[in-house]
């Protein structure tokens, strides 16, 4: 999603012209930092945010609401959306360091952390962000393989008229996905191909809409809203399981809202005047309102349709059998979306690794020498180097192996949501805002911001613990490399 811009950054370097540019007609098409004039508006920014947010997080929402129930589920979702809205507002003030109208621009989230909070926090932020991206790559591998398998299973199920349960292993599908990603990861600047994000957006809307409409149809067929006020009952799960699952549900919902990392990059596409932060505040209000309504609908319709039995992944949990072709379309859309999204999320890691290596060993031919291959049918030769090929292959192999060891979509998503939520969505924006706006220590505003930060830290910790406990419980039942659904 939004990691694209982060990856683009290392290409441009940071040429910021501090001198006053004389206002001659020649400069009409450039902004104050010497880059091409930005043309984004509230509408384009909102569209970017919505496409960045509505992704595979939608699929686990029905399960999350089923753990929490009709009262707490929607309430927690509302809470997360308000926290995200507030922290997005704080972040929009960090696009320019110093003055809101003419301060130096930060092109990415990491730039903002570096220029406002300094080197040490920047390193920690980088570590968390790269860990998060690595985790997302694993989560996407699991989700994509489950969807491929669901297509295969629904067709097999359909053929046998529902008699054969069609158990199969997800491993071959993970390997297929891994091989595809190894090939795509060798394509230079894959994440900058302009139509990738459009395809991803169309796909994610397709499967979210299909999930939502199937939920509505199912509710109509049942003639009753399933589910209870307090969520899954203690009979169906043990007391301790109920607690862990409740915590894990928090992580799943947090994951669905984890996109603050993208916001500064999106803000960098917006034109001024009015100041970028004003436009951005409008855009975040609009887009968070739309996504929250959409999430509430998807989650609550899924829960209303299946009650306590709501599957961990709405479209592959076999709550729906028919119309099977529609489910196949939805799952195919998920696979296509995730194949592209995997690249967009792992490119920043590749860029970082390659940059670090070339800076550390500039004279080592093996690591830095560019090799050219002529490919028949292409005009320009294909350039690569040994390190790039080896590192990218190893990265994809590693994510695939980890996915095969623990193919639990919900738990992994919960861990990711917990890991990224507090530091990236709350802690850094709050710290940057305090520094930017020079909020005094122990003033009312400062105390409120710190309380917000601490309470979100607590949520993050319990969600993380709950998800890790979930992985542990699942691993007891499950033998690595032999899973069958």
Handedness of CA 154, 62, 209, 284 (dihedral sign): negative
Mean pLDDT along residues 470-484: 73
Nearest CA-CA partner of 178 in 133, 136, 131, 145: 145
Mean pLDDT along residues 28-54: 81
Mean pLDDT along residues 391-398: 95
Handedness of CA 375, 377, 383, 389 (dihedral sign): negative
Confidence of residue 482 (pLDDT cuts 50, 70, 90): low
pLDDT of residue 122: 92
CB contact set of 385 (below 8 Å; sequence gap of 6+)? 367, 368, 369, 370, 371
* Burial bucket for residue 324 (CB in 10 Å: 0-12, 13-18, 19+): middle
- What structural domains does the chain harbor? 38-477 (1.20.1740.10)
pLDDT of residue 5: 46
Nearest CA-CA partner of 424 in 13, 22, 88, 44: 88
Q: What are the residues facing 382 on neighbouring strands? A: 373
Q: Which of 43-57, 75-89, 212-226, 409-423 has the lowest mean pLDDT?
A: 43-57
pLDDT of residue 319: 58
pLDDT of residue 28: 65
Q: Given a cut of 90, is residue 175 above it in pLDDT?
A: yes
pLDDT of residue 25: 47
pLDDT of residue 48: 81
Q: Which of 107-121, 165-179, 366-380 has the lowest mean pLDDT?
A: 366-380
Q: What are the residues facing 270 on neighbouring strands? A: 40
Give first-to-last CA distance, the chain, whole Å.
29
* Tens digit of each residue's pLDDT (9 = 90 or more) over 113-125: 999 998 899 999 9
Mean pLDDT along residues 363-387: 74
pLDDT of residue 6: 46
pTM for the model stands at 0.81
Q: Which of 8-12, 55-59, 466-470 has the lowest mean pLDDT?
A: 8-12
- The b/e string for 465-474 (b: 16+ C-beta within 10 A; e otherwise) is bbbbbbbebe
pLDDT of residue 391: 92
Return phi, psi of residue 97, to 5°: -80, 130
Q: How far apart are CA 221 and CA 345, in angstroms?
A: 39
pLDDT of residue 344: 81
Strands (E) located in 17-157: 96-97, 104-105
pLDDT of residue 485: 54
Average confidence score pLDDT of the chain: 83
Q: How far apart are CA 72 and CA 346, in angstroms?
A: 35
Residue the block writes with tokens 């992580």? 251
Q: Which of 72-86, 87-101, 359-373, 423-437 has the lowest mean pLDDT?
A: 359-373
Nearest CA-CA partner of 105 in 265, 274, 284: 265
Q: Given a cut of 90, is residue 396 above it in pLDDT?
A: yes
Residue 230: both structure tokens together? 């307090």
Nearest CA-CA partner of 348 in 395, 394, 386: 395
Q: Given a cut of 50, is residue 401 above it in pLDDT?
A: yes
pLDDT of residue 108: 83
pLDDT of residue 259: 74
Confidence of residue 352 (pLDDT cuts 50, 70, 90): confident
* One-character DSSP codes across 368-392: H--EEE--TT-SSPEEE-HHHHHHH
Q: Given a cut of 50, is residue 146 above it in pLDDT?
A: yes
CB contact set of 179 (below 8 Å; sequence gap of 6+)? none
Q: Given a cut of 50, is residue 60 above it in pLDDT?
A: yes
* Tens digit of each residue's pLDDT (9 = 90 or more) over 430-469: 999 998 888 898 999 999 999 999 999 999 999 999 889 8
Mean pLDDT along residues 83-92: 91
- The b/e string for 102-134 (b: 16+ C-beta within 10 A; e otherwise) is eebbbbbbbbbbbbbbeeebbeebeebbeebbb
Mean pLDDT along residues 236-263: 84
Top pLDDT among 24 and 302 is at 302
* Burial bucket for residue 287 (CB in 10 Å: 0-12, 13-18, 19+): buried
Q: Given a cut of 70, is residue 318 above it in pLDDT?
A: no
Q: Given a cut of 70, is residue 399 above it in pLDDT?
A: yes
Confidence of residue 17 (pLDDT cuts 50, 70, 90): very low
Mean pLDDT along residues 102-131: 89
* Burial bucket for residue 485 (CB in 10 Å: 0-12, 13-18, 19+): middle
Q: How far apart are CA 342 and CA 145, in angstroms?
A: 13
Handedness of CA 302, 304, 306, 312 (dihedral sign): positive
pLDDT of residue 3: 47
Helix (H, G, I), strand (E, B) or coil at 316: coil
Mean pLDDT along residues 2-11: 47
Q: Is there a contact between 295 and 47 (Cβ–Cβ < 8 Å)?
A: no
Nearest CA-CA partner of 410 in 247, 289, 235: 247
Nearest CA-CA partner of 258 in 391, 375, 117, 428: 428
Q: What is the largest CA-CA distance in the chain?
A: 77
Top pLDDT among 468 and 238 is at 468
Q: How far apart are CA 478 and CA 481, in angstroms?
A: 9
Nearest CA-CA partner of 227 in 53, 68, 91, 389: 68
Top pLDDT among 68 and 223 is at 68
Q: Which of 20-29, 139-148, 415-424, 430-439 has the lowest mean pLDDT?
A: 20-29
Q: Which of 238-242, 299-303, 432-436 has the lowest mean pLDDT?
A: 238-242
pLDDT of residue 125: 92
Q: Given a cut of 90, is residue 73 above it in pLDDT?
A: yes
Mean pLDDT along residues 243-250: 90
* Burial bucket for residue 29 (CB in 10 Å: 0-12, 13-18, 19+): exposed
Q: How many residues does the chain have?
A: 485
């Amino acid at each position: 999603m939004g990691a694209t811009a982060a990856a683009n950054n290392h290409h441009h370097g940071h040429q910021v012209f501090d001198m006053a540019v004389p206002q001659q007609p020649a400069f009409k098409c450039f902004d104050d930092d010497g880059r091409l004039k930005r043309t984004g508006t509230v509408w384009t920014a909102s569209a970017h945010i919505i496409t960045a947010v509505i992704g595979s997080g939608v699929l686990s929402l029905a399960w999350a609401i089923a753990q929490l129930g009709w009262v707490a589920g929607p309430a927690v979702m509302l809470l997360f959306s308000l926290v995200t809205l507030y922290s997005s507002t704080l972040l929009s003030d960090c696009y320019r360091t110093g003055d809101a109208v003419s301060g130096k621009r930060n092109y990415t989230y990491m730039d903002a952390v570096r220029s406002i909070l300094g080197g040490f926090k920047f390193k920690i932020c980088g570590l968390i962000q790269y860990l998060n991206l690595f985790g997302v790559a694993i989560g996407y591998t699991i989700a994509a393989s489950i969807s491929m398998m669901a297509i295969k299973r629904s067709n097999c199920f359909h053929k046998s008229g529902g008699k054969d349960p069609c158990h199969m292993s997800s491993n071959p599908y993970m390997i297929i996905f891994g091989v595809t990603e190894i090939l795509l990861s060798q394509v230079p600047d894959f994440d900058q191909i302009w139509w990738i994000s459009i395809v991803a957006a169309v796909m994610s809307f397709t499967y979210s809409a299909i999930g939502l409409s199937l939920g509505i149809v199912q509710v109509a067929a049942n003639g009753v809203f399933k589910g209870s006020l307090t969520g899954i009952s203690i009979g169906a799960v043990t007391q301790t399981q109920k607690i862990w699952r409740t915590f894990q549900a928090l992580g799943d919902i947090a994951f669905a809202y984890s996109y603050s990392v993208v916001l500064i990059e999106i803000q960098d596409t917006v034109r001024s005047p009015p100041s970028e932060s004003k436009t951005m505040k409008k855009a975040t209000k609009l887009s968070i309102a739309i996504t929250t309504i959409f999430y509430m609908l998807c989650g609550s319709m899924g829960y209303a349709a299946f009650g306590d039995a709501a599957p961990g992944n709405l479209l592959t949990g076999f709550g729906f059998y028919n119309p099977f072709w529609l489910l196949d379309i939805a799952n195919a859309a998920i696979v296509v979306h995730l194949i592209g999204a995997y690249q967009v999320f792992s490119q920043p890691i590749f860029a970082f690794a390659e940059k670090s290596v070339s800076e550390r060993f500039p004279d080592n031919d093996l690591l830095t020498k560019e090799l050219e291959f002529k490919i028949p049918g292409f005009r320009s030769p294909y350039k690569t180097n040994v390190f790039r090929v080896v590192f990218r292959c190893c990265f994809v192999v590693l994510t695939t192996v980890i996915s095969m060891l623990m193919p639990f979509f919900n738990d992994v998503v919960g861990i990711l949501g917990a890991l990224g939520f507090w530091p990236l969505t709350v802690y850094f924006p709050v710290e940057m805002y305090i520094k930017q706006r020079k909020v005094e220590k122990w003033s009312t505003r400062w105390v409120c911001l710190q309380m917000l930060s601490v309470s979100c830290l607590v949520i993050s910790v319990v969600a993380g613990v709950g998800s890790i406990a979930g992985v542990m419980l699942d691993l007891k039942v499950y033998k690595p490399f032999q899973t069958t659904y």
